[in-house]
Amino acid sequence: MRRYAGTMSSHPLPKISAPAARALASAGITTLEEAAAHGETALLGLHGFGPKGIRILREELEKIGLELAG
């Protein structure tokens, strides 16, 4: 699976809980590619974003051939 390289088209974030959506928005993350570039550790460090959000993002990223950065 490819990691985000920053040269692909952007895909909107999936439907996610309100707290997780606010956490991503407050970090300026508006696309799946931006979320992938931040990586799991950084995303889990956002207040309101948890393991369920990671699972949802992973599933959506897999659909477009990407994964969370290391």
Note the pLDDT tens digit of each residue in 3-35: 544 545 799 999 999 999 999 999 999 999 999
Residues contacting residue 8 through CB under 8 Å, at least 6 positions apart:
33, 66
β pairing state of 66-67 and 2-3: parallel
32 falls within a domain:
yes
21 falls within a domain:
yes
Q: 3-class DSSP state for residue 38?
A: helix
Range of the domain at 56: 15-63
40 falls within a domain:
yes
Residues contacting residue 63 through CB under 8 Å, at least 6 positions apart:
none
59 falls within a domain:
yes
Q: What percent of the chain has pLDDT over 70?
A: 89
4 falls within a domain:
no
Q: What is the model's pTM?
A: 0.85
7 falls within a domain:
no
Give 8's DSSP letter: S
